[in-house]
Amino acid sequence: MVRLGRYIAATASAVALAATAVALPAQAQSLDRDRPSHDDRFKRVGYFVQWGVYERNYHVKDLEASGAPRKLTHINYAFSDVTAQGVCKSSDPWADWQRPVPAEQSVDGKADAENQVIKGNLNQLRKLKARNPNLKILISLGGWTLSKYFSDAVLTPEARTKFASSCIDLWLKGNLPDLPPGAAAGIFDGIDLDWEWPGSPGEVGNVVRPEDKPNFSLFLAELRKQMNAYNRRAQITAFLPAAASKIDPGIEVPKVFKELDFATVQGYDLHGPWDAKTGHNGNLYTDKRDPYPVRFSVDQTVRDFIDRGAPRRKIVVGVPAYGHGWTGVKGGDGLWQPATGPAPGKFAAGSEDYKLLKGKPGKRYRDLRTGALWMYDGNEFWSYDDPVSLTQKALYIRAKGLGGSMMWSLDQDDEKASLTSALYRVLR
């Protein structure tokens, strides 16, 4: 597998490479039949977004209907708020446990009763786990818009103790506000930390301190201590940044990985419509054509973490189920060309789900030497992943001895879970 992965990355013939890549899932499947059925060391993580039940009209039932849960090891439910008071809090109680789910949106076809204690997404996740007993569900804290007060919440020993206790009490013990004690116990199997990013200012006014770097490690140690006291099988994971300029100010890599069951590392948003020129959203290898002073790639991120002491088998590679797009692009195949702005998207300018991009008109270009796919119609340029590019990434994960894959986000895959399935065929 190592030699085959290197061959895919290095061979010059794009046509031969594409044919090889398409055939790889079947090869990987035949290899896996030789393994014991209980062997499932690769993590296959997907995010389910809390707010998907609104404009996106995507529900836990839709996830179950796609077959994705049977091909995943973990679902991260995004996101819990981290408050100015330094505690965990639901960012949307209505979606989480208050919204009565009608029969047509319910995993088992049964509507929530009006007097039911737990409704909403949490009750649907409970039903999902009953159907998929090996599936782990983690609550994710923070994210891009809710990480503002992480720095405050981990600032002192007292704050760290309080913060850890509040998250365990709310999400693992299931003590939701105004409900009977333990009403939501057993739904979540652990906590995923999405602090974006320790020691680095975000674009939403995050509190940032130089002390974030050691305090993040200290908080993980405190959380691990309290989690072990509650349930030693409960898991702790974290989402960590792609760029070395974000890793070094905020992550003590050996200390952080010591406390984590595994970490998902950012493998997307490497370029986007915030850039003046087009580029790759999540290229596997560095592109020699890249005109930017810092050249990003999944492989570079993985090597940065390994060089800083991360164990390979705890590195889970993030992959996108969406693409980034630019408009007003002229010239060649559209790659690395100036743009006038973000391309129109259904839910946000410059961003589009895979399930919509796969049918979008335009010429497709694939560079398997960099593990990149893009679409260009002479004006709009979109960089995204498809089952072939994710197969290549999955083979890379196996070849490098890494821990698995993580997808943001499951609602952006198509109704057949084509992206999830491509990863599963190799990482099982």
- Residues annotated as catalytic are 196
Helix, strand, coil share of the chain (percent; to 5): 35, 20, 45
Residue found under tokens 């060089």: 307
Phi–psi pair at 353, nearest 5 degrees: -70, 150
Token readout for 71 is: 């091909």
Cα distances from 397 to residues 6, 42, 273, 357, 401, in angstroms, run 12, 9, 28, 25, 6
Q: Which residues of 327-353 are buried (b: 16+ CB within 10 A; e: fewer)?
A: bebeeeebbbbebeebbebeeeebbbb
Q: Do 267 and 355 form a contact (C-beta atoms < 8 A)?
A: no
Q: Half-sphere exposure of 296 toward its Cβ, with a 13 Å CA cutoff?
A: 19
Cα distances from 76 to residues 47, 48, 99, 209, 395, in angstroms, run 5, 6, 20, 27, 23
Q: Give just the sign of the alpha carbon dihedral 375, 380, 383, 384.
A: negative
Distance from C-alpha of 233 to C-alpha of 23, rounded to nearest angstrom: 38
Written as one letter, the residue type at 269 is D
Distance from C-alpha of 50 to C-alpha of 122, rounded to nearest angstrom: 10
Question: Which residue stretches of 205-279 are H helix?
Answer: 212-230, 244-250, 253-259
